[in-house]
């Protein structure tokens, strides 16, 4: 008998199938046993009638407990009252393994810290399953978009000899007889590969040693970074917008049931899928924030609270561009029309979620880049290889990085990024 997944059950209406998974819950009514079954792809009710199964199978049902692993053979039937529209009439039930202890997550409410301590079990809840499926859809859609736009995947190293944006955010590790840092960005390496391949990207883990306890921060997260030769900052912003529109459309097309499980109102996402993201300068953002009661000053970076206030004024992601050069990274190109401003942008997600993308046009002139490295107090010898990109055939080029977890948090409308990754690493959490 063919083993099928719950997500594909509609294809097998009227056929007998084999399901393999776990007992999520159950109840009995005399000679009828109702088993809520899950297999990771979805959930389905199995109706087990005493007269339809063997005595051995019926007795096995009486021994079931939550999270027992089971195999069920039976007939797929249409059931309009079921969320999936189907249920299975069991012909056979086999217990693969019974829990040795009571499953610690019952029907009662549990605190976040307790749930994070048993994250390896919390993942089995319907909400967490839905989040991880949406995460998978987003990650796949990002890769799909890059492929369609002609970008080549060229992953950057995790061990790096120097910082990209500043040493305060780095995890230092022993590297044989030397020291190295866990990567905070693959950007510098992407600039090298884009000079070889034109358009490149990487997608992998990123580490930031920031002592932040906000709902937006993880010490380990995943980021897709892209870099393209002969792309200016305006084209860069359009590429970012096109990617986010593509991602949101894919989630709406393929993960509506999961969004429903999360009780996510899809109307705001449908608005985003239309594109046409507003673009404002940093100066305009500061002026607007001050009108809204913020005490932000010209020249200040936008804090999390500022981003929240600002994004609540829009129903689509917004670009804030042309930040002051002095508050941005050394590699960002100043605007030739106003050298005090960088050709950079942050994309801020609506509904108060704030920054999900940071991008810029990079400095392509050797002398200016050397000057900026010196101004930031960075060791020039560590960046000689990076300067070579400007010494040999330098061209205008731009790129960006999009945080996967922040994007998941926004699209799923989650209160905290800790639920967006299977095992969150936070300032105060290194396990499980």
SS (H, E, C) the chain: CCECCHHHHHHHCCCEEEEEEEEEEEEEECCEEEEEEECCCCEEEEEEECCCCCHHHHHHHHCCCCCCEEEEEEEEEECCCCCCCEEEEEEEEEEEECCCCCCCCCCCCCCHHHHHHCHHHHCCCHHHHHHHHHHHHHHHHHHHHHHHCCCEECCCCCEECCCCCCHHHCCEEEECCEEEEECCCCHHHHHHHHHHHCEEEEEEEEECCCCCCCCCCCCEEEEEEEEEECCCHHHHHHHHHHHHHHHHHHHHHHCHHHHHHCCCCCHHHHHHCCCCCCEEEHHHHHHHHHHCCCCCCCCCCCCHHHHHHHHCCCCCCEEEECCEHHHCCCCECEECCEEEEECEEEEEECCCCEEEEEEEEECCCHHHHHHHHHHCCCCHHHHHHHHHHHHCCCCCEEEEEEEHHHHHHHHHCCCCHHHCCCCCCECCECCC
Average pLDDT, integer, range 313-319: 96
- Model confidence pLDDT, tens digit, residues 330-369: 999 999 999 999 999 999 999 999 999 999 999 999 999 9
- Domain ranges, ordered by start, for the chain: 6-97, 120-419
> So what's the pLDDT on residue 148?
98
If one counts every other C-beta atom within 10 angstroms of the C-beta of residue 157, the result is: 12
What average pLDDT does the structure give for the chain? Answer: 95
- 372-399 pLDDT, tens digit per residue, is 999 999 989 989 999 999 999 999 999 9
Query: Which percentage of the chain shows pLDDT scores above 90?
Result: 90
For residue 82, the model assigns a pLDDT of 83
CATH fold label, 6-97? OB fold (Dihydrolipoamide Acetyltransferase, E2P) (2.40.50)
Query: Residue 162: is its pLDDT beyond 80?
Result: no
What pTM was computed for the model?
A: 0.95
Rounded average pLDDT over 291-312: 93
Q: Which two tokens stand for residue 197?
A: 């391949």
Q: How confident is the model at residue 29 (pLDDT cuts 50, 70, 90)?
A: confident
Q: At 168, is the pLDDT very low, low, confident or very high (cuts 50, 70, 90)?
A: low
Q: Work out the average pLDDT over 263-283.
A: 98
CA 153, 154, 158, 161 dihedral sign is negative
Architecture of the domain defined by 120-419: 2-Layer Sandwich (3.30)
pLDDT of residue 189: 96
For residue 273, give the nearest of 236, 313, 316, 319 by alpha carbon. 316
């Amino acid at each position: 008998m063919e083993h099928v997944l719950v997500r594909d059950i509609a294809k097998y209406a009227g056929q007998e199938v084999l399901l393999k998974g776990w007992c999520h819950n159950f109840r009995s009514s005399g000679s009828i046993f109702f088993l809520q079954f899950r297999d990771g792809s979805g959930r389905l009710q199995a109706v087990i009638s005493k007269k339809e199964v063997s005595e051995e199978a019926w007795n096995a049902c009486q021994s079931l407990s939550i999270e027992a692993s089971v195999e069920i053979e039976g007939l797929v039937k249409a059931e309009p009252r079921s969320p999936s529209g189907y249920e299975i009439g069991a012909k056979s039930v086999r217990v693969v393994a019974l829990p040795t202890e009571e499953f610690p997550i019952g029907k009662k409410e549990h605190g976040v810290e307790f749930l994070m301590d048993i994250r390896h079990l919390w993942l089995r809840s319907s909400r967490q399953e839905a989040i991880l499926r949406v995460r998978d859809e987003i990650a796949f859609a990002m890769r799909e978009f890059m492929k369609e736009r002609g970008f080549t995947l060229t992953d950057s190293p995790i061990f790096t000899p120097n910082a990209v944006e500043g040493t305060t955010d780095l995890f230092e590790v022993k590297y044989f007889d030397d020291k190295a840092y866990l990567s905070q960005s693959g950007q510098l390496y992407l600039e090298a590969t884009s000079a070889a391949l034109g358009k490149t990207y990487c997608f992998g883990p990123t580490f930031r040693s920031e002592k932040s306890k906000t709902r937006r921060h993880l010490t380990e997260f995943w980021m897709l970074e892209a870099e393209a030769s002969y792309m200016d900052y305006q084209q860069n912003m359009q590429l970012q917008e096109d990617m986010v529109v593509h991602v949101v459309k894919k989630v709406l097309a393929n993960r509506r049931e999961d969004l429903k499980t999360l009780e996510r109102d899809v109307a705001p996402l449908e608005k985003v899928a239309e594109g046409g993201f507003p673009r404002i300068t940093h100066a305009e953002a500061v002026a607007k924030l001050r009108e809204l009661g913020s005490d932000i000053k010209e020249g200040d970076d936008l804090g999390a609270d500022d981003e929240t206030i600002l994004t609540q004024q829009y129903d689509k992601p917004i670009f804030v561009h042309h930040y002051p050069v002095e508050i941005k990274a050394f590699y960002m190109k100043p605007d030739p029309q106003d050298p005090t401003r960088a050709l950079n942008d942050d994309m801020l997600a609506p509904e108060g979620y704030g920054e999900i993308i940071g991008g810029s046009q990079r400095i392509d002139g050797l002398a200016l880049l050397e000057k900026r490295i010196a101004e930031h107090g960075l060791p020039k010898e560590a960046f000689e290889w990076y300067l070579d990109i400007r010494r040999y055939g330098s061209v205008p080029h731009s790129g960006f990085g999009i945080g996967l977890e922040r994007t998941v948090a926004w699209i799923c409308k989650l209160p905290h990024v800790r639920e967006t990754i299977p095992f969150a690493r936070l300032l105060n959490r290194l396990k499980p």
